[in-house]
Amino acid sequence: MANNHIMDYGEEGLDECITTLQKNDISYAGAGSNLEEAIRPTYVEKNGSTIVFINFMDRNSFLEYSTEEMPFSTENRSGYAPAEVELIKKSIDEAKNQSDFVVVSFHYGNEMTSSPNERQYLLSRESIDAGADLVIGHHPHVIQKIENYKGKLIFYSLGNCIFDAVTPAARKSMVVEFKLKKGDAEIILHPIYISNSQTFLMDQNNGEEFLSNLQSISSPGITIKNGKGIIFLKDYL
């Protein structure tokens, strides 16, 4: 929910969005009628474990688009959850005590840029230092590196999934499958491409070419097999 379009239709639009999600029993995080609601995590129970999702947007990443700051949530104003380090640390600390696995998602970075900027590095690494188990980024619209930081993974940008992409780089992305078994992590990367605003799995040759390029800029070892990428990290938890 924390992204640069969540307030396109103002507070009324956000309220309607939240009401629709609640009516359809869809979990969400990253925006609310005030700051307390916006930074509230969402919890998911899976196979006896509790996974928590926290979502923020870095307003500093969007000053390039407008002289007017996008409306973030405050004590008495609705909006998205602003990516401020102390807020992030507080949210992670509270979530860590009530869950088995903490996922932090950021809307940050610069559009159509293949390398993370300084704010992306700062916010992502601060999150891991505060206790997050996984960081996922979006907004650049293209794939960026995967980083193994202190034994935890940071996906700086997953690119696009469903989007009217106009450049070849913005049409290539991946779906990340994350498996935990007895504390070890196995991550399977499924390369995808977008055509006519629809998403498809890449064939083996194109998938392996895509993964080879990703492998060259990423810090964890990626094993490429049958058009998929595999990352295995022992003792992840």
The DSSP secondary structure of 22-52, one letter per residue, reads HHTT----SEESSHHHHT--EEEEETTEEEE
Q: What percentage of the chain exceeds 70 in pLDDT?
A: 97
CA–CA gap between residue 192 and residue 206 (Å, rounded)? 9
The tokens describing 71, both together, are 């409306």
Mean model confidence pLDDT for the chain: 94
- For residue 28, the model assigns a pLDDT of 96
CA–CA gap between residue 94 and residue 63 (Å, rounded)? 30
φ and ψ of 111, to 5 deg: -60, 140
- For residue 60, the model assigns a pLDDT of 81
The amino acid that residue 123 corresponds to is L
**Who has greater pLDDT, 61 or 216?**
216
| 53-62, 84-93, 96-105, 135-144: least confidently modelled range | 53-62
CA–CA gap between residue 133 and residue 143 (Å, rounded)? 21
- How many Cβ atoms from other residues are within 10 Å of residue 46's Cβ? 10
The tokens describing 80, both together, are 């998205």
Degrees (nearest 5) of the Cα angle 217, 102, 73?
Answer: 95
Strand, helix or coil at 209? helix
Architecture of the domain defined by 1-159: 4-Layer Sandwich (3.60)
CA–CA gap between residue 230 and residue 163 (Å, rounded)? 25
CA–CA gap between residue 57 and residue 9 (Å, rounded)? 17
For residue 47, pLDDT over 90 is answered with no
| 57-61, 99-103, 170-174: least confidently modelled range | 57-61
CA–CA gap between residue 6 and residue 79 (Å, rounded)? 8
Distances (CA, A) of 141 to 1, 84, 122, 168, 220: 16, 23, 20, 11, 22
Domain ranges, ordered by start, for the chain: 1-159, 164-237
For the chain, state the CA radius of gyration.
18
- For residue 220, the model assigns a pLDDT of 87
φ and ψ of 6, to 5 deg: -65, -25
Please tell me what DSSP assigns to residue 74. Answer: B
For residue 153, pLDDT over 70 is answered with yes
